[in-house]
Structure 1
Amino acid sequence: MGTKEFQCGGHESALLDCSSASERNTCSPGTAVSLTCSEPDEVRLVGGESRCAGTLEVKHQGEWRPVDGHYSLWTLKAAGVLCRELDCGSAVSVGKREEPSHRFMWGISPACAQSGSALRECAGSGASLYTLNLTCSDSVRLLGGTGLCSGRLEVRSDPSNPSWSSVCEADFDQQDAQVVCRQLGCGAPSVLQGALYGEGEAPMGTKEFQCGGHESALLDCSSASERNTCSPGTAVSLTCKEPDEVRLVGGESRCAGTLELKHQEEWRPVGYYHNTLWTLKTAGVACRDLDCGSAVSVGERKESSKRPGWWISPDCVESGSALRECARAIPSSNFVTLTCSGSSSSQ
């Protein structure tokens, strides 16, 4: 614990460039300095309709470059890390856009980013034709729920103000909930209740929103005067229906066949990959979404050539996430087939 006392002005490039006083021989126990610096990541979305939509770019090694979207490894669940980094709520859609020619980009591993590492620690350089495009929910978010479509509602009423506020139950109705669910890319609201997902730490001062239900975003609605306080237990929690559209095709009933998912406005079969085993537990989520009971059997169907498909991580689904949160686009020639217990009664 013997060290010099440094006397820096704050502008120096290195600590040893600072002047120093006489060496201190001892320090009291528990007074050794610990330090946390903010991560130097700089990230932005460009070319979209707002600062929370567009092509993802990261500044790394002093250079702004787009993020490579070629392998479509970013699921909605993983992209939530990027939206949080941007302070833009939660992920609504993630996809790729083709460029006219190859250009240098940063390749970023979703698994690395989800592990809590800074984006710059996960970035590698390479050339690609495809950029990663992302749309975040911007001014609304749901926290503490079971997925992207449930949780405690928080709103950022002023785009220039980075702080988020909870919403008082008395200031929020079913029409307001319809707008929020739509903005989040979710289905219709199913549960609207105070403190279902906890109180949270955000301040309870927020505007009373007056939506007609048809608006695209909550901040498009008119609003009344701001309420400064709410009673304990009245912070709005909201559950929207999952917008997953799933179907089974080519089987003997609507509850048997090849599994297809409508995601990002496109129907595709779900790929079967031998390194990611589909169990009856995973398949049971799809059967429940189809209102077809439980899973009886799951298998694969092979085709002669590859075509666009959705890859869905079984681990992601079994963690409680919706199918669409765990999907990414990958071509395949092997596809998941499924039989649910409701097959015989769904002819």
Structure 2
Amino acid sequence: RLVGGSSGCSGGLELKLLGEWSPVNDYRWNLKIASDGVRLLNGSSRCSGRLQVKPNPSDQTWSSVCEADLDLQDAQVVCRELGCGAPSVLQGALYGDVQTPRWSPEFQCGGHESALLDCRSSGSARSSCSPGKAAGLTCSGDEVRLVGGASRCAGRLELKVLGEQRPVRKDGFSLKTAALVCEHLNCGSAVSLQPTYVSYQSIWRIHSQCVQSGSDLWNCVSPWSSSRTLKLTCSGQQGADRQTGRPGGR
């Protein structure tokens, strides 16, 4: 259960074990555990991809959504639910296509709902969805950035997760994980990792073993507290920046 929040969908997480309710520690907690009901699949980050819904929490079956059954107000709810800002692109088959299973009813969101499955849906069921019409969605959330460096491809690594922008813990961060970050930013390969320090605060920790096991980067993030953060330098884009004279220019 979630307690102490503004609704039944927010608050402190508690689990009931042997008849007693106890709060859950945030250690090793990550987005893969927390997310439920809606996801974006096959995108460059958890804020882009083919939209899928899990209508029944007790059933682990995910269904794709037809492009015709999703409008801008529906997309606003999805991006908000995932903590990914506002929708920027809504188009079928941007992130691959599938034949089955499909979510049948059409969503009818007002745009103010906190979760897509809280929205009303039409009673009519769509028997099929045309090839190439599985809804693909990209939200505007700027989730990865390097700040304070000579270009956008160097600096302190920060992640925006569920609407919170925080630096990343240096300890345990591997070059393989750094390579994924540089690739995500279109900045080539990782050149160096260096410690940098901030006042002791809440930061993000990326579990490198989780990344190396093949999991998506965003499923390997958990909250942490430290003053030791990470400065990352990538190979790409720096030469172009010097030639154009524009910081982070392309």
- TM-score, length basis structure 1: 0.53
* CA displacement, residues 191-240 of structure 1 (integer Å, 9 cap, x when unaligned): 532693534446x531x334565665446766555235234657734333
Q: Indicate conservation of the 8 Å contact 1:178/1:189, yes or no.
A: no
> Which residue is 1:226 aligned to?
124
SS of aligned partner of 2:80: helix
> Which residue is 1:52 aligned to?
9
CA drift of 1:167 comes to 4.0
Structure 1: how far apart are the matches of 2:2 and 2:122?
32
**1:196 is aligned to 2:96:** yes
Q: Indicate conservation of the 8 Å contact 1:306/1:331, yes or no.
A: yes
Q: Choose between structure 1 and 2 for higher RCO, CA contacts under 8 A separated by at least 6 residues.
A: 2
Which runs of structure 2 are paired with 1:1-347 in the superposition (5 Å)? 44-69=1-26, 72-80=27-35, 83=36, 89=37, 141-142=38-39, 145=42, 148-149=46-47, 150-154=49-53, 156=55, 167-187=65-85, 188-190=87-89, 192-193=91-92, 196-201=96-101, 204-206=103-105, 208-211=106-109, 216-218=114-116, 224-227=122-125, 229-231=127-129, 233=131, 236-241=134-139, 243-273=141-171, 276-279=172-175, 281-291=176-186, 293-303=187-197, 306-317=200-211, 319=214, 321-322=216-217, 324-340=218-234, 341-346=236-241, 347=247
CA drift of 1:74 comes to 0.5
* CA displacement, residues 251-287 of structure 1 (integer Å, 9 cap, x when unaligned): 33332222222335444321111xx3421x4223323
Tell me which amino acid in the other structure corresponds to 1:345: A
Q: Indicate conservation of the 8 Å contact 1:298/1:338, yes or no.
A: yes
RMSD: 3.9
Percent sequence identity over aligned pairs? 42
Q: Indicate conservation of the 8 Å contact 2:198/2:229, yes or no.
A: no
Query: Unmatched 5+ residue regions in structure 1?
Result: 1-43, 84-88, 90-140
Q: Indicate conservation of the 8 Å contact 1:58/1:64, yes or no.
A: yes
Given the superposition, is the C-alpha separation of residues 227 and 47 from structure 1 closer, same or farther in structure 2, using an over 3 Å criterion?
same
Query: Unmatched 5+ residue regions in structure 2?
Result: 242-246
Structure 2: how far apart are the matches of 1:62 and 1:278?
42
Q: Indicate conservation of the 8 Å contact 2:153/2:238, yes or no.
A: yes
SS of aligned partner of 1:182: helix
- TM-score, length basis structure 2: 0.70
Structure 1: how far apart are the matches of 2:222 and 2:137?
24
Structure 2: how far apart are the matches of 1:223 and 1:214?
15
Tell me which amino acid in the other structure corresponds to 1:260: E
